Chains A and B, each alone.
Chain A
Amino acid sequence: MNTQDLIAQLIQKAPQKTPLRGPVWLAAQLVLVLAAYGLTAQFFLGLRPDIVAQLSRLAFSAEIVLLVLLIFSSLAAAIMAMYPDALQKAYVLKIPYVVFTLLAGFIFLQWAVMPPDAGAVLPVTGSHGMECALCIGAVALIPAALLFFLIRQGASVAPLQAGSFAVLAAAGVGGLTLRLAEANDSLLHLAVWHYVPTLIFAIIGAVAGKWLLKW
């Protein structure tokens, strides 16, 4: 087809179109929905019995803060990735990776300065493992689907990244609720059954993004 003919066709297809809602509005809506979903998930999973004591422990609080940061930064990046030019703030797309690296680094840092009590590192005998990864995945499923649906409303030129952000935010919600519910602070357990699966989910999200976020 001739380019002139194509332009004539495009003009005929009514150019008037309502622009996508602003990123702040989208972010506010998403935060509300995810907060409601997270609270519901927390209601079903319950809270660990020593939650108050744990929150007064610096390492635990810092981990929770980093998880919350991971959720917010991934949400922001997923929203930015809906716009082809990332609203000319491409640096936002790098923040989730930085936060996740910080989180992983924080776990390894605690490992490096391991206290004499090996219980802080090694998992409790007979404790579960795979269930945690599956639980994070199960909790993340609905938010991930919601985020993928939202990103599809835009026009992402970085579908792999966008997919990974969507899943990272969703897995962040799963990880946070589980961390507040499960009374297991073993660093080995957290690394192997919480954060490595989160990374794997993000990679799966990137692959899914390549196929699901085509436009």
Chain B
Amino acid sequence: MAVVCLKMTRKCSLTQVFSGTVQMVTPTENPMDKYAERAALFRAGLAGDGVAYGQFLQKTTLILRRMLGKKLPPLDIEDVVQDILISLHKARHTHDGQRPLMPWVFAIARFRLNDYLRKAYSRAGHEVYVANIEENAAADVTETYREDESIGELLQDLPERQKRILRLLYLEGHTAKEAGRLLDMGESAIKVAAHRAIKKIRERLGG
């Protein structure tokens, strides 16, 4: 039986090629290509077959959900999937239907995912900043330092939110992610607030 070898990737030895035991095929003809069906649907879609195009989008949606499930919180997945589907539709003229399709799909998916993450992180950073302003504005800045050894009393001097965060993290043993979920804050915001609270306590202890 002939060995199937992709023309573009050439994953076969030269000996196999010259001995004639290799059947050279293009990636779209490769019977072992598990995405061949999607590529065929996409090509039909480019030629004007709306049903095939719809099936291609449906099948791609499943892959995208699986891909994004590992990287995004469940609530955000559909937004990004839709964003990627629109991008695939807009960019469909950049694929001729001949070269492997999935690297093209994943390149667009990664681009939109990175876009989304960049915006999400910048939003989160802004939220941390605003939260910190609120916390610091609420703090009693005129209070004199005391050298208490009681951690409970030290916690009492902190703003309510920081106090709750430290209790959740260090007294109740929650992770930053869990604490964030309980307080409706981002994980990084929890870490920043905890860091600032500890810094305040350290200053009061004179450390």
A11 touches B107 (CB 8 A): no
B89 touches A87 (CB 8 A): no
Interface residue? A17 (CB, 8 A): yes
Interface residue? A84 (CB, 8 A): yes
A83 touches B94 (CB 8 A): yes
Interface size class of B (residues with CB under 8 A): 35 or more
B82 touches A1 (CB 8 A): yes
Which chain A residues lie closer than 8 Å to B92 at the CB level?
Answer: 15, 17
A15 touches B48 (CB 8 A): yes
**Complex-state Cα separation, A20 to B58, whole angstroms:** 24
CB distance from A24 to the nearest CB of B (A): 12
Which chain A residues lie closer than 8 Å to B50 at the CB level?
Answer: 11-12, 14-15
Chain B binder among A2-10, A45-53, A120-128: A2-10
Interface residue? B66 (CB, 8 A): no
Interface size counted on chain A using CB atoms at 8 A: 28
Q: B51-66: which residues lie under 8 A (CB-CB) from chain A?
A: 51, 53-54, 57-58, 61
Known contacts being A19-B95, A87-B99, A215-B90, is A11 close to B108, with CB within 8 Å?
A: no
Which chain B residues lie closer than 8 Å to A6 at the CB level?
Answer: 82, 85-86
Which chain A residues lie closer than 8 Å to B47 at the CB level?
Answer: 16
Interface residue? A155 (CB, 8 A): yes
Closest chain A residue to B49 by CB distance? A15
A88 touches B99 (CB 8 A): yes
- Interface SS, A side: loop
Interface residue? B8 (CB, 8 A): yes
Which chain A residues lie closer than 8 Å to B58 at the CB level?
Answer: 7
Which chain B residues lie closer than 8 Å to A157 at the CB level?
Answer: 107-108, 110-111
B104 touches A13 (CB 8 A): no
Which among A12, A20, A88, A215 has the highest number of chain B CB atoms within 10 Å? A88
Tally of A-B residue pairs with Cβ under 8 A?
89
B93 touches A17 (CB 8 A): yes
CB distance from A213 to the nearest CB of B (A): 12
Interface residue? B46 (CB, 8 A): yes
B81 touches A85 (CB 8 A): no
CB distance from A5 to the nearest CB of B (A): 10
**Complex-state Cα separation, A6 to B110, whole angstroms:** 20
A14 touches B89 (CB 8 A): no
**Complex-state Cα separation, A85 to B107, whole angstroms:** 6
B85 touches A88 (CB 8 A): no
How does the 8 Å CB contact mask read for B12-53 relative to A, with 1 for contact and 0 for none? Answer: 000000000000000000000000000000000111111101
**Complex-state Cα separation, A84 to B88, whole angstroms:** 10
Q: B111-130: which residues lie under 8 A (CB-CB) from chain A?
A: 111
Interface residue? B73 (CB, 8 A): no
CB distance from B10 to the nearest CB of A (A): 13
Interface residue? B3 (CB, 8 A): no
Q: A10-B57, A85-B107 are in contact. List 9 more A-B contacts (CB 8 A).
A: A3-B61, A3-B85, A11-B50, A11-B54, A18-B93, A19-B46, A83-B95, A84-B108, A215-B87
Give 13 pairs: A residue, B residue, CB < 8 Å, sorted on A. A7-B58, A10-B86, A11-B51, A13-B89, A15-B46, A17-B93, A20-B93, A84-B104, A84-B108, A84-B111, A87-B99, A155-B91, A215-B91
B interface residue numbers (CB < 8 A to A): 8, 45-51, 53-54, 57-58, 61, 78, 81-82, 85-87, 89-97, 99-100, 103-104, 107-108, 110-111
Q: Which 5 A-B pairs have the closest CB atoms?
A: A155-B91, A16-B48, A157-B111, A15-B53, A85-B104
